[in-house]
Each structure stands twice: as structure tokens, then as C-alpha cells.
Structure 1
């Protein structure tokens, strides 16, 4: 299979999902948007679910690739902040990705294939956050600090909630306020060193 052709078809699907919703995605619509025949789409994806799963993985992989390119030498709080900002709709590209991600997450409630991708994605993010927090969380006065596993779950829940609010109520939660909410939580969790 030609990976670039599959990615072209995934881009078409993501465009449709981001602008008109996941319910508007069909083999015919993807073919039309990509400028190819229906047969070309069916050559790469035998079912709509297979096409949706590939596109969902593309959203996840593209975001993870962007996070991987971030400065790994930054101090832990700044690294965590920069990575989590990639999951929030702080610019047009990330807004489109977040809209698509939320559509896929909602559809995962009724699609076992998409549910598996959603579960894998959340688990991987939580694990990476836990590892980063394990290194970054301070112990205070000889007392153990916050539990990295619990804090990773809470931090991911915060980011998911901010994403949902910013996508569904953008006037009530504009990008600057979304970023500030994340920063406020991180400052409480990981106070700046003086």
C-alpha cells in the first residue's frame, strides 16, 4: 500500500470530519474531497471502519510526532507544559485536530476498533505524563510528594476538559484562557524553582 496515498485519503477524511462532522464521512465524500475515484479509496480501505481507524491513528501520530520534536532539554515543567499545549486548540491547526479528535472519541463509544485506539492513546499519554511527573514532582520536607500516577490522570482529565470546553464553547474559553488555565494548574502542581 502506498502510505502517501493513504495519508492523502486520511487528510481528506480529516478535512470532512473537521469541517462537517464525522457523520458526513463516506467513501464517496472522501473520494470526492481527495480527487480520486471511489475504487481508489476502496483499494486502500476495504471498509469505512478501516478508513476511520487509519485516520484516527493519523491524528494521534501527527500530534505525538509534534510533541517528539519539542525541546527535550527544557526543565520538566516547561517540557510538560509544551507537550500538553499540543493537545489543546490554541491555534487553527490544533483546533481542527481537536475537533476531529473529539468526533473520533465520541464515535469510539459505539465502535470497538476506535475504542481500542482511544484506550491505547489515553493509556500512552497517561504513562508518558506519569514518567515525566515522576521526575518532576518535588518531595517536600522529607515527605513524599504528590503521586505521579494520580497527578497524571488528573492532568489528562484537565487537558481533556479544557479541550472539550474550548472546542464546544470557544467564546467562553478562548485560546489565551485555555493556555492560562493549564499554566495555573501546572504552577500549583510544579511550582517554579526560585
Structure 2
């Protein structure tokens, strides 16, 4: 078994291989991933794909890690309003399936969340990401009453909205963000 790190540094070509793997998983599922399919999707030779990921497990792990890194970059890079509550909404919206890269990453999240039930190495990575997310939420909540419980509920809200809407059409983005906003109001008591 490999020891995968969420801090894995991707070269430009390794990122392109991981992104191609993400597109395959998002459109056809984990079982569709192979060196040959990733080579076709990425435009690289099969040998180049194998250089970056010598086996399917590494291809799948790198896709998940890359997807998490993309999400983290979006959340950290989005322009947020001065209003603290709306800043929550804007940042967490970046994790929801609202088209484009967000749709791909949300599909990866749901796919790997499900796969974590039967694949221990995915469960380890997935659990690490959940713990890191809740820790970050706790950091923002600070000493708010019942902060740990609220962090778990915010995680459940984002996960539930992702699962419920991963197949939704883009025009429903306003509804999904509205549901996020209302759920956060209930959890945070604002």
C-alpha cells in the first residue's frame, strides 16, 4: 500500500495527467480509469502517464489529491464580501457542484466518498480530508458555543447538498446556494 500525501506537489505534466483522470472519473467512474484511457484523455503517451503514476491506485490517488488541492485553491482564492456570514456562503459554494471544475470536483468527492466504504486506502485519504475540513471550520468558528457540533453539521450540509445536486443542471445554482445559505443560518443561528 502507498502512503499518499495531500501535500503532494504536482509538476505541470503530472497535474495534467491527474486532471485527465479527474475528467474520466467525473464522466465515467472509477472503473473507467486506465493508463490507456488517461493517455487518450490527456494527450500524453502511455509511457508518460506511467512515469507520473505507475499503476491505477496511484492514478486514482493523484486524481483525488489534485481535486482536493483545486478545491482548496478555489476556496482560498475567491473574493469574499465583508459580511462574515456571506463570506461563509461564498467560500462553501466553491465546493458545490455548480458547473465546470466545481462539478468535476464535486463528482470526485461523491465518488470517492462512496468508494471509501470498500477501499481502505481511499477511506484513509477521505477521512483525512474530512478531518482537515472540520478543523478549518472549527478555526473559523473559534470559541462559538457548540463549535465542534456546528463544524460537523456544516460538513454534513455541504456533503448533503453535494450528493443531492451532483447531477443537477447549472441553472439550479441559485437554488443550491440558497439551500446552503438557509442551512448555514439554521446551524449558526443567524
Alpha carbons of structure 1 residues 78 and 2: separation in structure 2 relative to 1, 3 Å: closer
Give the unaligned 5+ runs of structure 2. Answer: 1-8
- The equivalent residue for 1:115 is 123
Which ranges of 4 or more aligned residues in structure 1 deviate by more than 4 Å?
none
Q: Distance in 2 between matches of 1:58 and 1:22?
A: 15
- The equivalent residue for 1:178 is 176
- The equivalent residue for 2:152 is 153
| 1:158-183 CA distance string (max 9 Å, x none) | 11011100014x27x93222111111
Q: CA deviation at 1:36?
A: 2.0
Q: Could you state the TM-score of these two structures normalised by the residue count of structure 2? A: 0.85
Match of 2:20 among 12, 25, 29: 12
| 1:82-136 CA distance string (max 9 Å, x none) | 221111112333122211221122222222222121111111111111121226x
- 1:23 and 2:31 aligned: yes
- 1:35 and 2:43 aligned: yes
| Number of matched pairs | 181
Q: Could you state the TM-score of these two structures normalised by the residue count of structure 1? A: 0.84
Give the unaligned 5+ runs of structure 1. Answer: 138-145
- The equivalent residue for 1:65 is 73
- Structure of higher CA gyration radius: 1
| 1:37-62 CA distance string (max 9 Å, x none) | 22221112122101111110000011
- The equivalent residue for 1:188 is 186
